[in-house]
Each structure stands twice: as structure tokens, then as C-alpha cells.
A = this chain, B = another copy of it.
Amino acid sequence: MISIQKEENFSDWYNDVVERAQLSDKRYPVKGMNVWTPYGWKIMQLIDAHIRQELDATGHEEVCFPLLIPETEFQKEKEHIKGFDSEVYWVTHAGNNELDVRLILRPTSETAMYPMFSLWIRSHNDLPLKVYQLVNTFRYETKQTRAFIRVREIHFFEAHTCHVNEEDAQRQVEEDLMILERLMKKLCIPYSLLRRTEWDKFPGAYYTIGIDTSMPNGRSLQIGSIHHYLTNFSIPYDISYEKEDGGRAYVHQTTFGMSERLVGAIIGVHGDDKGLVLPPAVSPFQVVIVPIPIKGKAELIQMKAEELRDRLLRAGIRVKLDDRDQRPGSKFFDWEIRGVPLRLELGMRDIDGGVVTFARRDTGNKGTLPLSSIEDAVLQKLDEISSDMNARAWKRHEDSLVDIDSPEELPLKMLRFSWCGKESCGKEIEEKLGLTLLGTPYGKRGERRHCIICGEESENLAYAARSM
């Protein structure tokens, strides 16, 4: 049992789970830069593997750009530099020399990639260009840091694409949304797609879709974003191509990125008072086998447990046989903290009955599975767990949303209301509610109602919440 209860004190509960499940170590001597310990890093790598699979399958190619960006390149797009200036790390010296051109640590890679895109793209035959990278990025956070959610070295993926025109770039945004849907289903994370306000969009973007999930404390957590840039970057970085008719045009660009906040979302959305609850698709071990020893039969049970492990391994299941010399109850406790989706217990009664006893981590449900077809039975159980985790998480996400008709704050909820779209009303809403206006649902409109500030008729819905 985790000593702090999730419902009572989410913030302390979260930190406690991170520490006890050994996901990362925050004692590294630079604040906000944590050490990925083996178990946490393995979860992140499994998420990365799903990201690679989705991006490769949609024709993106993986690259790796340098970390350091010359100040001169960084400053080409005016909005962009304004947006990041206060949060970049500066390399000013190397060895005993002061650098002629100062370098920044990538806060995101537009300004590293686009000078190269300008060399790579010559004609319409080179388009679309679709690349991505999985790297760490750096932001000098001044707010309080929190493992995976607000850190200064951030593991993330960023996909960058170039297109012949706005429509083709828009098709890319739609493809990104399909990728997102498949990925989030594996991670069992519900989300809202919110077109950010003009004053909150990505610096340099034409528009930004924020991908937001909700935490049990009622706060929203942005886990990723998709940006359409039009030609806002291709003009300053001179990324143009020869058209089929021989003329020249600037490319239209998009980006799509998600970060290690996905790990934070998994902890917050699924965890409980016993610890972490991992979706089967990203759990380092999907199954843990705990032998239940009886005097005189320990060797036989151990042998049967090894057989079981080997059968599951051959079926491609990530399985751990916990044959440490400890009480079964203490093993249950350890693997519950670490969120392993399915526990299999094997004792003499199971062996005699031709079954294995299972316990689901997400619901605590127990029962037996037939040994004869254990591979299929386990795979089916993992699917069930995944599907139930999705259903429950989506229900909670939807329940966390409250429609309001006037600017009154409901604590611990995400609010939905009519907004005329004017910045003045938007800012007033933020002030009155003490919340962040997250934006308007992407691709959806509501019924005609009245802006909760000025009363003007509008089909615009808007969302607001406290953000993590």
C-alpha cells in the first residue's frame, strides 16, 4: 500500500508512486533533471517503440539532428525566438575559448532542421518530406518541477513535415490524428483535441492543436501538440521547391510531438492506492508468475513455473518469474507497486486442477485460467485489461467535464462553455475563473448559444481548466 491516498493528496501520491515504483530518481544535483532508472526507462522505450512503429508505417523517416543550434539560425523566425528566448540554455564557451556564435540547447528542432530542409528540398518530387526524431530537449523551467510532467531535460518525439500546399499539410494533420488515436488506445489515455487560442498557440504557428488529458485532481495535462505552420517558417528559412509548372513556391509545414508526459499521464490516469497500474502495451513485464510453494513440492512447483514462463515467452509475452526466496504476499506487494497488469499464481492445487490462478492489477479480480491453452488465455486477458482500462479512463475523462452557462468556477473540473472567440472575453474568462482557457474543440462546433461573458451568440465551445 502506498502510504498516501490518491484521492486525498494527488500531488504527494504522484511523487510517492514515482519513487516507490522506481521510475526515476530526482536526487540528481541539477533541479528538474532526473535520472531515468531502469524500470522507468523501459516503459519510456516501450512507448518509443510504439511511436516508431506508427511513424514508420505512415512513411516518416527517422533522423537525428544535432542538439546545439547556432544563435544566428535560432533568431530567423521572430515569433519563435520571442516565444523561447526566456527558457533556453546557452552554451557560450568550449574548452578555454569563448564561442564566436553562441549555441542553444534545442528547445524544439525547427531552427535546427529547417536550414537543412532548405538544402534537401529542390523540387515537388522531394515532397512530402516526413521525418521524425526521438531525442531529449531542454527548457529552463522556472515553475516547480515534477517527474515526467515538468522537467528541464525532456524526452520527446518530434515529427516535421513539408508539403506542396496548405491542403496537403492539412491532410498531414488528419493523419497525425489517426496516429494519435492508435497510440493513445495502446496507452489507454483519453484526450481532448483543443485548438489553442491565438495568444497561446506555438510561437510561429498558424494554429496549434493541444492534446490534453485530465488528471484525477481535475487539472488538465497537455501531453502533446500538432501544429500547422503554413509558410511561417519556410519563408524565413527559404524552404522552397520547383513546381510541376516550373514556378517556385514555399513549402507548407506541420509538426507533431509528444513527450515523456505520456509516462506522467499513465501514472496519474491509471494509478491507485496500491501504486502504478500499467497498460499491457507498455508494461516492462505484462505478466508476473509467483510460485506458491508447499513443503516437499517446492522443486516441482518451480519446474512447472519455469515451463509456464517459457511457454509465455515463446508466445511473445513479456513475463517475469519471481522465484526470489520471499513470501508470496511480499512479492504481490512489490509487483502491485510496479503496476504489472496480470499476476499468475501457481500452487499445487492449480497444478492438480490443470489451471493457473490469475489476479488483475487494474480491478483486483481473481479467477483461474486453463493451463492447456494458457498462451491464448493470457493474451485474451491482457486485451480485456487494456480495453477495460480504456473504457474506464475515457468515462472518467468525460465525467471530468462540466458544461457551465456563466463564469463561475467549479473546482477540480474541466469546464466547457460558449465563447464568442474574442480575446477580450477569453482573457476575462481566464481571470474570472482563475483557469487557463485551453481552446476550442478541434473540428467540432456546438449549438448556437451565448458567450458567457458578453452574451453574443456563438457556436464556439471553449474549454478551461487548471493545468498541471
Interface residues of A (CB under 8 A from B): 25, 27-30, 33-38, 41-42, 45, 61-70, 72-73, 85-97, 103, 105, 112, 115-116, 119, 131, 136, 138, 140, 142, 153, 155
Contact = CB atoms under 8 A, between A and B. Distances in A.
Given A94-B89, A95-B86, A140-B95, A67 B153 contact: yes
A67 B36 CA distance: 12
B33 A116 contact: no
A55 to B, nearest CB: 12
Nearest to A93: B90
B116 A66 contact: no
Contacts of A37: 63
Contacts of A33: 66-68
B92 A92 contact: yes
Contacts of A140: 94-95, 97
Contacts of A25: 116, 119
A245 to B, nearest CB: 22
Nearest to A34: B66
B27 A116 contact: yes
A41 B67 contact: no
Contacts of A116: 25, 27-28, 35
A86 B90 contact: no
Prevailing SS type, chain A contact patch: mixed
22 contacts: A27-B119, A28-B112, A28-B115, A30-B66, A33-B68, A34-B66, A35-B63, A35-B64, A35-B66, A36-B64, A38-B62, A41-B62, A41-B64, A66-B153, A67-B136, A87-B95, A89-B91, A90-B94, A91-B91, A92-B93, A95-B140, A97-B140
A34 B112 CA distance: 11
A1 B37 CA distance: 48
Given A30-B70, A42-B62, A92-B93, 15 more contacts: A28-B65, A29-B70, A29-B115, A33-B67, A34-B66, A36-B63, A41-B64, A67-B67, A67-B138, A85-B96, A87-B94, A89-B93, A89-B103, A90-B93, A91-B105
Nearest to A116: B35
Cβ-closest 9 pairs across A and B: A33-B66, A36-B64, A94-B140, A38-B61, A90-B93, A86-B95, A92-B92, A95-B140, A89-B94
A318 to B, nearest CB: 13
